[in-house]
């Protein structure tokens, strides 16, 4: 089918993608955590699935696989892991898919065994999400708008990824056909392990349709809600006999007496050996689940899914993220610019398109400290004309002269106040008319009053011009 593949290792590039670390291996290939690096430090984590050659490969098988992968890449739904690219390098065909930060449903089941298994409501919700993804695939239309359903052919807990936030995503659309071509059973091939999820028509190599995927969804729901596989035998031969026989599996209520009869009816209809008696579509099966167990689809149930995932596989998620970070450090250590950071040439190109034409500050020069987050504003007058240099000294000299003059004036005031205060004219004068009996006293009192103002006013009037002239000289 393909030429001998190249030997892959951490740090190797497949097209635009750097391989970081292998995270899973199957019968037809290996899944790597890889990184797409872009300009300006852009990084995007993706999953790269390499497809290795298997026995019995043919040109016809290769064409079918490529066609299935191309069609699967057209499915756009939140419950389907998106296929981003399909390419080949040195004989290695690889598919690039979105990175789902989570675990396979089979790993979740295994991790939950120690705590009593997956809770019923969580199990029903996860299968309901997978049914949404299947409905999107089964309703697929080609470029002409004609209905062209995509059958997964390998719905199983290994091909349902559960993110740590509780989102279920289907993976490996189109690859099941290649796996079924190889009939070799062994530890490196998942056909033996996933045989119990195959519908009877698949085992007989009859035609398949969307109801084939609903049979596998029913097996998954049975396993999640009862803890047992409906057709599992002692070995592969016994499992095949259970699948092909007309006998239905044991009813869940026999294994668990408290099992909901409504939920049991949904599960048993999905496990019908005759496709005509199964649910006609994934959407109808999902709606039946929603009617039978409405609590699993209530608004806000996502919080319970996140809590369950954190309690069950949260430690595995932290270890996986840390391992990927270490792988990135190893890869970056051998790169020219670790971490995809911005180079000096990039900084120069950014300066070239800058609007501000001022020269750029040297990289080693520290940025000036800002004392405030508000912009610093200069007065308009300060920008238009320079301030006079001698204005400030002259003003200070003027203030000093005025202060000296006031001090001298206040120093002379106490010496002039006695002559003014001793004048009788300043005291209150009795304006009552004099009485005749005291006529001899009036002249002497009148003379005293007339003499007092003249005596006190004469020195003050004579000194005023001299004071004014002296103050004028001091101010000058």
CA–CA distances in Å: residue 321 to residues 31, 44, 328, 415: 16, 14, 11, 98
Look at the chain and count its residues: 476
Q: In the prediction, which pLDDT does 402 show? A: 60
Read off the DSSP letter of residue 426.
G
Rg over CA atoms, the chain: 50
Spell out the residues 6+ positions from residue 65 whose beta carbon is closer than 8 angstroms to its own: 51, 174, 175, 177, 178
* pLDDT tens readout for residues 382-424: 444 445 455 555 556 666 656 666 665 555 554 444 443 444 4
Strands 43-51 and 102-104: unpaired
CA distances from 46 to 21, 95, 316, 325, 414 (A): 11, 10, 19, 14, 100
Look at residue 341 in the predicted model and tell me its pLDDT: 38
pLDDT of the chain, 476 residues: tens digit per residue: 444 456 788 999 999 999 999 998 765 678 999 999 888 888 899 999 887 655 555 566 667 677 777 877 889 999 999 999 888 888 788 889 999 999 999 999 999 999 999 999 999 999 999 999 999 999 998 888 888 889 999 999 999 999 999 999 999 886 655 554 444 334 444 444 567 899 999 999 899 999 999 999 999 999 999 999 999 888 889 999 999 999 999 999 999 999 999 999 999 999 999 999 999 999 999 999 999 999 999 999 999 999 999 999 999 999 999 999 999 999 998 753 333 333 333 333 322 223 333 333 433 344 444 333 333 333 333 444 445 455 555 556 666 656 666 665 555 554 444 443 444 444 444 444 455 444 444 444 444 434 444 444 444 445 555 656 665 665 55
Residue 311, pLDDT score: 96
CA distance 460 to 125: 114
Helices (H), 227-353: 236-244, 252-255, 261-270, 282-292, 302-333, 344-352
- Which pLDDT does position 164 carry in this prediction? 97
Cα separation of 218 and 229, whole Å?
Answer: 11
Cα–Cα distance measured from residue 444 to residue 440, given in angstroms and rounded to the nearest whole number: 8
Domains of the chain: 13-316 (1.10.510.10)
Q: Are 270 and 221 in contact (CB under 8 A)?
A: yes
Q: How does strand 83-89 pair with strand 102-104?
A: unpaired
DSSP 167-202: -EEE--TTTHHHHHH----STT-THHHHGGGS-HHH
What local confidence, expressed as pLDDT, does residue 88 receive?
Answer: 87
Phi-psi category of residue 139: left, alpha or beta, with phi > 0 → left and psi -120 to 50 → alpha: alpha
Least Cα distance to 33 among 14, 6, 5 occurs for 14
């Amino acid at each position: 089918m393909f030429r001998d593949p190249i030997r892959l290792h951490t740090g190797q590039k497949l097209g635009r993608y750097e391989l970081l670390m292998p995270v899973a291996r199957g019968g037809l290939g290996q899944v790597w955590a890889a990184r797409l690096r872009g300009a300006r430090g852009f990084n995007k984590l993706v999953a790269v699935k390499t497809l290795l050659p298997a026995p019995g490969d043919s040109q016809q098988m290769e064409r079918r696989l490529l066609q299935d992968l191309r069609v699967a890449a057209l499915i756009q739904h939140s419950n389907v892991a998106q296929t981003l690219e399909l390419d080949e390098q040195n004989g290695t065909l690889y598919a690039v898919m979105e990175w789902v930060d989570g675990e396979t449903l089979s790993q979740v089941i295994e991790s939950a065994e120690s705590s009593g298994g997956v809770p019923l409501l969580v199990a029903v919700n996860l299968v309901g999400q997978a049914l949404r993804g299947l409905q999107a695939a089964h309703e697929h239309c080609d470029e002409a708008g004609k209905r062209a359903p995509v059958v997964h052919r390998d719905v199983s807990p290994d091909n349902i990824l559960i993110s740590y936030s509780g989102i279920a995503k289907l993976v490996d659309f189109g690859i099941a056909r290649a796996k079924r071509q190889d009939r070799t059973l062994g530890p490196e091939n998942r056909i033996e392990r996933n045989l119990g999820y195959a519908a009877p028509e698949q085992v007989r190599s009859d035609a398949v349709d969307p109801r084939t995927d609903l049979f596998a969804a029913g097996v998954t729901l049975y396993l999640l809600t009862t803890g047992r596989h409906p057709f599992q035998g002692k070995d592969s031969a016994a499992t095949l006999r259970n699948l092909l026989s007309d006998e239905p599996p044991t009813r869940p209520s026999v294994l668990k007496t408290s099992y909901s009869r409504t939920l049991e009816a949904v599960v048993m209809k999905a496990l019908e050996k005759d496709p005509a008696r199964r649910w006609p579509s994934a959407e109808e099966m999902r709606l039946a689940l929603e009617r039978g167990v409405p609590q699993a689809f209530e608004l806000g149930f996502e919080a319970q899914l996140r809590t369950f995932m954190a309690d069950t596989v949260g430690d595995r998620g932290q270890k996986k993220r840390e391992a990927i970070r270490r792988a990135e450090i190893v890869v970056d250590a051998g790169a020219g610019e670790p971490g995809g950071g911005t180079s000096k040439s990039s900084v120069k190109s950014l300066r070239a398109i800058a609007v501000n034409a001022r020269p750029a500050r040297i990289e080693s020069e520290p940025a000036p400290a800002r004392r405030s987050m508000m912009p610093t504003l200069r007065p308009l007058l300060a920008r238009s004309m320079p301030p006079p240099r001698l204005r400030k000294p002259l003003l200070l000299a003027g203030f000093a002269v005025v202060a000296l003059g006031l001090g001298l004036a206040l120093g002379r005031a106490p010496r002039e106040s006695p002559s003014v205060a001793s004048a009788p004219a300043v005291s209150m004068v009795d304006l009552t008319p004099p009485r005749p009996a005291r006529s001899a006293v009036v002249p002497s009192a009148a003379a005293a009053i007339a003499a007092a103002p003249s005596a006190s006013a004469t020195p003050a009037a004579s000194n005023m011009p001299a004071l004014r002239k002296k103050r004028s000289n001091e101010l000058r």
